[in-house]
Structure 1
Amino acid sequence: MADLSQQDWTVKLNNDDNALILDVRTPEEFEAGYIPEAININIYEGQGFLDAVNKLDKSKNYYVYCRSGNRSRQACALMNNLGFDQAYNLEGGILDWKGKIIQ
């Protein structure tokens, strides 16, 4: 797991052909606005979150975010424990997502 600033996260994401964006907020938070192309898996679902994440392709590089960076940091650590080698946490979460389109 790596904590990346918005700039580093964005640059790395934009240069990664094997990237997947993961939003770990609640469905309600996701519906209120999200980073384009993100998929939503709610970390608060506990075992459901682990089950859903375990179905993801471990060969992908995951760019993970939440509201402020705390849940996504936890999600990255859980993903690392499940065998995901490349999980990048967006420091500051979507609150610090400046100058980007949020749908």
Structure 2
Amino acid sequence: MKHFICLLVTCMFFIACKPQSDTNNITTLELKRILEEDSIQLLDVRSTKEVKQGFIKTAIFADYFDANFYNNASRKLDKNRKVFVYCRSGNRSKKAIKILSKAGFMCVNVLGGYNQWKKEN
């Protein structure tokens, strides 16, 4: 019985210590439904070259690799509204969200980015 209780306590410890993601995520299918129903702040953090290959209608652009990324993005965004962020595949958007979140923006990451959007739309 002691071993069972010890095992149970150990399992509960590891479950409780599991790192929690501080990033909200949304799929491109969910984003499509939201865009059909509402006007949202949608931030594209890809480069100009990537944007020329296509983008999601109504997106606001701020290149993550630009040295002035934060200033460029924050000038265009309303801190009182949620910001949906996408890039090519989902990696840059997570990094951009960390920067924006530290400044008080409420952000949602679009999983799979523009690549996933193109596959589904």
TM-score when normalising by structure 2: 0.71
Greater relative contact order (Cα < 8 A, sep 6+): 1
In structure 2, what is the equivalent of residue 94 of structure 1?
114
The amino acid of 1:42's aligned partner reads: D
- The structure richer in strand per residue is 1
Q: 1:3 aligns with which of 15, 25, 33?
A: 25
- Judged with a 3 Å threshold, the aligned counterparts in structure 2 of structure 1 residues 67 and 5 are, in CA distance, closer, same or farther, namely same
* Residue from 41, 49, 65 that aligns with 1:44: 65
- Which structure: larger Rg? 2
Provide, for residues 10-47 of structure 1, a one-character-per-residue CA deviation record: whole Å limited to 9, x for no partner. 33444444x1111000011001100011111000013x
Native 8 Å contact 2:86 2:113 kept in 1: yes
- Provide the C-alpha distance between the structure 2 equivalents of 1:73 and 1:10, rounded to a whole number of angstroms: 19
Q: Could you state the TM-score of these two structures normalised by the residue count of structure 1?
A: 0.82
CA RMSD, 1 decimal? 1.6
* Percent identity over paired residues: 33
Distance between the aligned counterparts of 1:13 and 1:77, measured in 2? 23
Q: How many residue pairs end up in the alignment?
A: 97
**Please, which runs of 5 or more residues in structure 1 have no aligned partner?**
none
